[in-house]
Amino acid sequence: MILLLTGCMTMDGFFFNGSAVDSYTLGHDVIPEENVEEVSFIGPDGNEIFGVWAHQDVDAPVLLFSHGNYANIDEYWDRVELYWSWGYETFIYDYRGFGKSKGSASHDGVLADALGAADYVSETTGLPPEETYYLGMSLGGFAAIHTSLERPPKVLITECMFASADYLSDFSLGTDSPPGWFFKDPFDNVAAAKALQVPYLIIHGEADDFIDFSNGEMVFAAANEPKRFFPVPGANHSTIPATDPEGYEQAIRCWTGTGTACDASMVPANP
């Protein structure tokens, strides 16, 4: 702690809690085994990144899912099953240092891996990014929103995403530290939201005790129209789908144009 307070160390490693594996243990109770495809691709900086497709049997909207900062694809397979069950052709990938992906995680590395995933999805499906959907959870929100600046999607969705590294440290410690005091890299999602020019849905649990709800409010305030904020009362960092399953599904499917019975507040309007 003394070293942190004197600026001799950084807390950037807080964002990366991946676990490496030699193989994934994906279940097939929801998604048939023949619809699951493990792949790898080479990212823009030459790193090998591993991912998994959950294919539909017919043409379907394509969803690129960027997961959180813990473990690997196995930890988030239930999310893939959920989105697949809603009819999305879903692709999930592991950042470097997570799962089977090579290398060590870093701020720039995650951004390179996310950009590579977007390019891989576009090349594989033949769809330009503007015809696909991005959904990022927590750290995945950082990956997805910054990728959206380089490869704008049809719709961006982030869930329980932090505002910035500095805001996280100041809120948690009750300080007003100089920018960059605890974190070497900014992880600045508020700045990205200000520059974003795509329909944007922000989801956050009101009882999130890992990434406080105020982070979602800050990102929403900074974002441009068309945008929507979907708060989930009683939901913690990872419990939104279980806390409000119908509302969660409706929010995502209406914002992506794949839902029914959507009122005007639930679909993107022209800015």
DSSP characters over 38-84: EEEEE-TTS-EEEEEEE--SS---EEEEE--SEE-GGGGHHHHHHHH
Tokens 């995403």 belong to which residue? 161
Q: Which residues of the chain have pLDDT under 50?
A: 1-9, 173-181, 271
**For the chain, first and last CA: distance in Å?**
46
**pTM of the prediction?**
0.92
Q: Which of 141, 270, 108 is nearest to 218 (CA)?
A: 141
Determine the angle formed by the axes of helices 107-125 and 139-150, rounding to 10 degrees. Answer: 60
The pLDDT of residue 111: 97
Q: Which of 76, 67, 80, 90 is nearest to 16 (CA)?
A: 67
H-type alpha helices, the chain: 2-5, 77-85, 107-125, 139-150, 165-173, 189-195, 213-222, 240-243, 245-255
The pLDDT of residue 181: 42
Amino acid identity, residue 10? T
The pLDDT of residue 5: 41
Task: Please list, in sequence order, all residues whose beta carbon lies within 8 angstroms of the beta carbon of residue 37, skipping any fewer than 6 positions away.
Answer: 52, 53, 55
Separation CA 52–CA 55 (nearest Å): 9
The pLDDT of residue 7: 43
Instruction: List domains and CATH numbers for the chain.
Output: 2-266 (3.40.50.1820)
Report percent pLDDT > 90 for the chain. 84
What's the helix, strand, coil split of the chain in %, to 5? 40, 20, 45
Residue 133: strand pairing partners = 63, 155
By three-state DSSP, how is residue 137 classified?
strand
The pLDDT of residue 182: 53
Question: What is the number of alpha carbons within 13 Å of residue 18 lying toward its C-beta?
Answer: 24
The pLDDT of residue 14: 72
Bridge pairing between strands 48-54 and 36-42: antiparallel
The dihedral of CA 250, 256, 260, 265: what is its sign? positive
Separation CA 163–CA 208 (nearest Å): 14
The pLDDT of residue 170: 59
